[in-house]
């Protein structure tokens, strides 16, 4: 593909650029005559600009639409995205990793970036025509099964092979190690806004958990065995019949896999569905990993990690709910459901029993 500058605005994605990109992506005979962009996902907490491109052709046949992603042009938000390296991470993930994943991802037609100027641009296959997951409504059982198999595909593929990816932050990264202070600072607001919903016992349990957050991440550092998606939720999933297509790799990290599995099962499923099928779904996840010689050897070790991680996710959702700022009505309703669902799982599993259990030494493949 011809070398092009990195677009820093959507109107810089030209017909010439898309012609070269598509020809390099298997559409050999195409010539794009025009590109028009329509912004999507505005106001949904996305640290970037996302648009659906409509492509017209003067020769050949190519995709009618594509999805473009560039960093936000908001001067207040761009430094946050740069600090988190969300744009560079996804750029490098598409360049180096995703084609080797054992999970389907959108094809990248264009993936250009400049690590010095922190400019990045992705143009991806538009998977919007497939059935989309709905975090608000919750997963069907079929979707949940597809999701845990996909999670195992991500985790199993890279199990014990992540040391080569020094640009992917580990679970005990400085950013994660700083979360304890953030959680502690927001805790009075959490109690004020959610104390009645949580109940006195859960409030007390979580208060005892907060001083252990950094120690928990430090103890998990040795379990950073694989790559994790870290935003593994229904809103980032599309379903092509029985096959899941996973999008949005900006938060790619390293861990033991529980950072994907726990939030998916505990806050993307209606509580009744989770209670009825959680054990079977965890077994499916572990069995799929075993076929790849990956994962926890014993179910009880996996469940200990599951419960300990559940303490983190309930604390994180509560923190996010009181610090998120303005959001849409759907966003407000979604946070309410996330907390209700996660709290239900937290109490059922009595996850507080694992608070401070940082020396369990699980047997891992």
Encoded tokens for 114: 């400049």
pLDDT at 74: 82
pLDDT at 18: 97
Q: What is the pLDDT of residues 251-292, one digit of tens each?
A: 999 999 999 999 999 999 999 999 999 999 999 999 999 999
**Element holding 125 (H helix, E strand):** strand 119-125
Hey, which CATH number is domain 131-354, 2.60.40.10, 3.40.50.300, 3.90.1200.10, 3.40.50.2300?
A: 3.90.1200.10
Q: What is the pLDDT of residues 50-98, one digit of tens each?
A: 999 999 999 999 999 999 999 988 887 888 888 889 999 999 999 999 9
Confidence class of residue 6 from pLDDT cuts 50, 70 and 90? very high
pLDDT at 57: 97
Q: What is the pLDDT of residues 194-226, one digit of tens each?
A: 999 999 999 999 999 999 999 999 988 877 899
Neighbours of 261 (CB within 10 A): 25
Question: Looking at residues 226-247, what average pLDDT do you find?
Answer: 94
- Interacting residues of 123 by C-beta distance below 8 A, sequence separation 6+: 13, 18, 21, 53, 66, 67, 68, 69, 108, 109, 110, 111
Pick from 46, 45, 77: nearest CA to 327: 45
Q: Are 270 and 251 in contact (CB under 8 A)?
A: no
pLDDT at 223: 74
- Asked if the model's pLDDT at residue 124 lies above 90, the reply is yes
pLDDT at 326: 72
CA 120 centroid distance within chain: 19
- Interacting residues of 167 by C-beta distance below 8 A, sequence separation 6+: 85, 88, 89, 92
Following CA atoms 29, 33, 38, 40 in sequence, which dihedral angle do they give, to the nearest 10 degrees? 10
- Asked if the model's pLDDT at residue 4 lies above 70, the reply is no
d(CA 267, CA 260): 11
CA 281 centroid distance within chain: 19
pLDDT at 45: 53
Q: What is the pLDDT of residues 294-341, one digit of tens each?
A: 999 999 999 999 999 999 999 999 999 999 877 778 778 888 999 999
pLDDT at 46: 63
Confidence class of residue 44 from pLDDT cuts 50, 70 and 90? low
| Domain 10-125 fold | Phosphorylase Kinase; domain 1 (3.30.200)
- What are the domain boundaries of the chain? 10-125, 131-354
Question: Looking at residues 187-194, what average pLDDT do you find?
Answer: 97
Residue with tokens 């003067």: 58
Neighbours of 363 (CB within 10 A): 8
Q: What is the pLDDT of residues 135-179, one digit of tens each?
A: 989 999 999 999 999 999 999 999 999 988 989 999 999 989 999
Encoded tokens for 252: 């790619």
């Amino acid at each position: 593909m011809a070398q092009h500058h990195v677009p820093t605005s959507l109107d810089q994605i030209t017909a010439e650029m898309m012609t070269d990109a598509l020809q390099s992506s298997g559409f050999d005979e195409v010539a794009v005559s025009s590109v028009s962009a329509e912004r999507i996902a505005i106001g949904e907490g996305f640290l970037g600009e996302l648009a659906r491109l409509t492509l017209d052709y003067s020769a050949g046949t190519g995709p009618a639409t594509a999805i473009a992603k560039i960093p936000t042009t908001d001067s207040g938000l761009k430094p946050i995205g740069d600090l988190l390296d969300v744009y560079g991470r996804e750029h490098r993930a598409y360049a180096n990793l995703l084609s080797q994943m054992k999970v389907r991802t959108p094809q990248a037609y264009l993936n250009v970036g400049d690590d010095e100027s922190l400019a990045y641009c992705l143009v991806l296959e538009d998977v919007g025509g497939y059935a989309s997951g709905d975090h608000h409504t919750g997963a069907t059982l079929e979707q949940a099964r597809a999701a845990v198999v996909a999670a195992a595909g991500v985790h199993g593929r890279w199990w014990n092979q992540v040391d080569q990816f020094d640009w992917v932050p580990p679970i005990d990264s400085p950013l994660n190690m700083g979360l304890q202070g953030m959680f502690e600072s927001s805790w009075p607001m959490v109690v004020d806004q959610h104390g009645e919903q949580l109940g006195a016992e859960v409030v007390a349990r979580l208060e005892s958990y907060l001083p252990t957050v950094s120690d928990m991440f430090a103890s998990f550092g040795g379990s950073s065995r694989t790559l994790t998606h870290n935003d593994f939720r229904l809103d980032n999933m599309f379903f092509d019949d029985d096959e899941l297509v996973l999008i949005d790799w900006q938060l790619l990290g390293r861990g033991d896999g529980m950072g994907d599995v726990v939030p998916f099962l505990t806050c993307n499923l209606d509580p009744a569905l989770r209670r009825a099928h959680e054990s079977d779904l965890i077994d499916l996840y572990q069995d799929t990993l075993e076929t790849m010689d990956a994962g926890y050897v014993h179910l009880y070790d996996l469940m200990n990690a599951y419960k300990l991680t559940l303490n983190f996710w309930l604390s994180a959702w509560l923190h996010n709910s009181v610090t998120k700022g303005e959001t849409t009505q759907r966003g407000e309703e979604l946070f309410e459901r996330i907390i209700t669902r996660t709290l239900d799982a937290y109490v059922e599993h009595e996850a507080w029993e694992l608070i401070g259990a940082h020396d369990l030494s699980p047997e891992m493949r």
